[in-house]
Amino acid sequence: MGAREAAERIERELLILTRHKEMRAPRGPRGGDPLDQSAYVLLTRLEIQGPMSIPDFVEAFGLAASTFTRQTSALLRNGLVERTLDPAGGVARKFRITEEGLRLLSEQREGIVTGLSTVVADWTPERLDRFIADLRQFNTDIERITGRPWPRGAGDSGH
């Protein structure tokens, strides 16, 4: 199989994977996740990296500043982040995750982990290790190509 055919098969599986939201435990007021996907990603990045400015988000994700202005405005309105002075003494204001943001992020992550645990419950340790290693390699290859590495959190040894 060539790279093109493999990429087509990977694309299809990734499409299907993103549809499996039903594996998450419903938590929100309408039975859905308490956070939308963009809020989940931004709050996770803030949790791992610490306070970030709009230019920091632009550099990390490669999207327009206006995208992050809209997203952080919604997070501010919902009390999930707060503005803070740059801890390094810069002039830019940074966004920091609040206790409420951490609570909702933790709640949603727990639902995701619970759903994933159900899926892989019967997998052997070897199969789990192989899958995790392959998925990590896939992600780090994308990060290398785009020049936008994702900081790994504590407890992610990266074997």
Interval 37-69: pLDDT, tens: 899 999 999 999 999 999 999 999 988 999 999
| Per-residue confidence band for 154, with pLDDT thresholds at 50, 70 and 90 | low
Q: Greater confidence, 90 or 150?
A: 150
Residue whose entry in the numeric block shows the structure tokens 């966004």: 95
* pLDDT over 80 at 153, yes or no: no
Amino acid at 107: E
Measured over the CA atoms of residue 35, residue 104, residue 63 and residue 134, the dihedral's sign is negative
Q: Which DSSP string do the residues of 104-158 spell out, in sequence order?
A: HHHHHHHHHHHHHHHHHTTS-HHHHHHHHHHHHHHHHHHHHHHT-PPPP-TT---
Set out the domains of the chain in order of their start, with CATH numbers: 22-107 (1.10.10.10)
pLDDT digits (tens, 9 = 90+) for 84-118: 987 777 767 899 999 999 999 999 999 889 989 99
What's the pLDDT at 117? 93
Q: What is the pLDDT of residue 159?
A: 42
Q: What sign does the dihedral 111-155-37-5 (CA atoms) show? A: negative
pLDDT of residue 15: 84
CA–CA separation, 135 and 66 (whole Å) = 31
Task: Say which amino acid occupies 12.
Answer: R
How many alpha carbons fall within 13 Å on the CB side of residue 61?
Answer: 20
Residue 146: per-residue pLDDT: 93
Residue 67 in contact with residue 54, Cβ under 8 Å?
no
